[in-house]
Structure 1
Amino acid sequence: MADDIDIQQHIRGLIDEEHSLRGKLGVGEISVEEENQRLRTLEVELDQCWDLLRQRRAKREFGEDPSGAQVRDAGTVENYRG
């Protein structure tokens, strides 16, 4: 992902897919198990994208190059404590 706009567009695409999955489940095109499996994957990918945006913004705020931010592994972004 090249820049913030690309990341934001990817996030929108993931959210659109999430809504589509819920619609498909509602009309019986997919099973609950299929929906849940894909939703888990989407949630991790969304968390990674949001984390990447936060990293880029922090680097920019402190005068660093935002392109140095990297996607962190699922285990890292899924184990954050709020």
Structure 2
Amino acid sequence: MDQQEILKRIGAMVADERRLRAALAEGRIDSATEQERLAATERMLDQCWDLLRQRRARAEFGGDPDRARVRPASQVERYES
């Protein structure tokens, strides 16, 4: 996955996250399934942002961006943006 694909995926997930948060805040949905979907989206976003940062760092310092790998959600959760 190249940088543009990662950014496109991030954009789609951010839109989904916003939609889910708005629906939960407005009380339109409150199911455990939707709350888990929001949590899963947040974990995937953390992973995508981390992958993007890895790729950029590798490129900046002469490494191969294609060697960057998705890290486990438990490792990248709650990273500060």
Question: Under TM normalisation by the shorter chain, which class is it?
Answer: 0.7 to 0.9
Other structure's SS at 2:53 match: helix
Which stretches in structure 1 are left out of the alignment for 5+ residues?
Answer: none
Measured against aligned partners, the alpha-carbon deviations of 1:22-69 in whole angstroms (never above 9, x if no partner) come to 3443362x3253332111111110000000011001100111110100
Instruction: Identify the residue that residue 53 of structure 2 maps to in structure 1.
Output: 54
Q: Does 1:9 align with 2:1?
A: no
State the percentage of identical aligned residues: 46
Would the aligned equivalents of 1:22 and 1:35 in 2 still touch at CA under 8 Å? no
Equivalent residues in 2 for 1:1-82, closer than 5 Å: 2-25=1-24, 26=26, 28=28, 30-78=29-77, 80=79
Aligned residues between the structures: 80
Tell me how large the CA RMSD over aligned residues is. 2.2
Which stretches in structure 2 are left out of the alignment for 5+ residues?
Answer: none
The one-letter code matched in structure 1 to 2:6 is I
